[in-house]
Amino acid sequence: MEFVFSFMYYQYFDPVYWLVIGVGMLLSLWAQASVKGNFRRYSQVGSRSGMTGSEVARRILRDNGIEDVSIERVGGQLSDHYDPRSRTLRLSESVYGSQSLSALGVAAHEVGHAIQHARGYLPLQFRSAWVPVANHGAGISMFVILAAFFLGGVGTVLGKNLAVLGVVLMGTTTVFTLITLPVEFDASRRALISLSEGGYLDREEIGGAKKVLNAAALTYVAAFVTSLMTLFYYAYRLGLIGGRRD
């Protein structure tokens, strides 16, 4: 029981834990505020082309020879995404029918994922294959970590083995957040190239769309940093890093 109480202490009263959580929360809040602020700002700026997000999405798909991706309108704010299973591009209300720089930037970004899928972009393929691994790992990692605490962490052979297993299972989520970074950055890169080369936005307008996409990228960076810090925290408290803690 001593190690169960120790686990609860670390989880709820340990200042190191709250430092990790606090930094992660601040990063996430800052990233979300940046996304919403930039999206709202450039939602008020209409594109000179007068095209909507859905129209630009269709044209960029056509420019890249992609004919088997459908486009749907969905509810929600910033709920835009590409579904590779059904080959469907789903755009939110604020993007689908809007002519703003924000709408065109977001729509082009999601098309960037469709282009990645069509071109067999390896990081996207790896991320898709890794989803069930991360889901299962995240689902049982805390149970294994709790058992490791109960058995004394690195103080016992079984405890150490469970500690390593628990951290590895938790690490599957960190790997997912890591591989998400190149996938999202590449989709934004493809989006800006498509918008510029297709003449959908001029040089001045591209700057606004780029700010929206860069802000969105911060959310993925924040997710990775938070996941990595949490992973190191549990590795530290279990004694896998820095020696055993009694």
pLDDT tens, residue by residue, 55-92? 999 999 999 999 999 999 999 888 999 999 999 999 99
- Write out the two tokens for 138: 């995240």
pLDDT confidence of 116, banded at 50, 70, 90?
very high
172's enclosing H/E stretch is helix 157-197
CB contact at 8 A, 115 and 147 = no
Is the pLDDT assigned to residue 97 strictly greater than 70? yes
Residues 177-217 pLDDT 10s: 999 999 999 999 999 999 999 999 999 999 999 999 999 99
The 8-class DSSP code of residue 46 comes to: B
Q: Is 152 a residue whose pLDDT tops 80?
A: no
Average pLDDT, the chain: 91
What 3-state class would DSSP assign to 82? strand
* C-alpha to C-alpha distance for 107 and 73, rounded to whole angstroms: 11
Q: Which residues contact 193 (CB under 8 A, 6 or more apart)?
A: none
How many other C-beta atoms are found inside a 10 Å radius of the C-beta of residue 47?
25
CB 232 within 8 A of CB 34: no
Query: What pLDDT shows up at residue 155?
Result: 80
Torsion sign, CA atoms 205, 113, 76, 57: positive
Three-class SS state of 229: helix
Give the start-end residues of each E strand in the chain.
70-74, 81-83, 88-92
| SS3 (DSSP) at 238 | coil
Query: Dihedral (C-alpha) 182, 222, 97, 89: value to the nearest 10 degrees?
Result: 40
Confidence of residue 243 (pLDDT cuts 50, 70, 90): low
Predicted model pTM: 0.89
Kindly report, residue by residue over 21-54, the tens digit of the pLDDT.
888 889 999 999 999 999 999 999 999 999 999 9
Tell me how far apart the 2 most distant CA atoms of the chain are, in Å: 67
Q: Determine the pLDDT at residue 30.
A: 94
pLDDT > 90: what percent of the chain?
75
Contact 149, 3 (CB under 8 A): yes
For the chain, give every domain's residue range. 2-48+122-237
CA distance 201 to 162: 54
Q: Which pLDDT value is given to residue 22?
A: 84
- From CA 151, how far away is CA 127, in angstroms rounded? 34
Please state which of the ranges 121-130, 132-141, 230-239 shows the lowest mean pLDDT. 230-239
Q: What is the pLDDT of residues 3-18, one digit of tens each?
A: 555 556 556 677 777 8
- Tell me the catalytic residues: 110
Q: Is the pLDDT reported for residue 246 higher than 70?
A: no
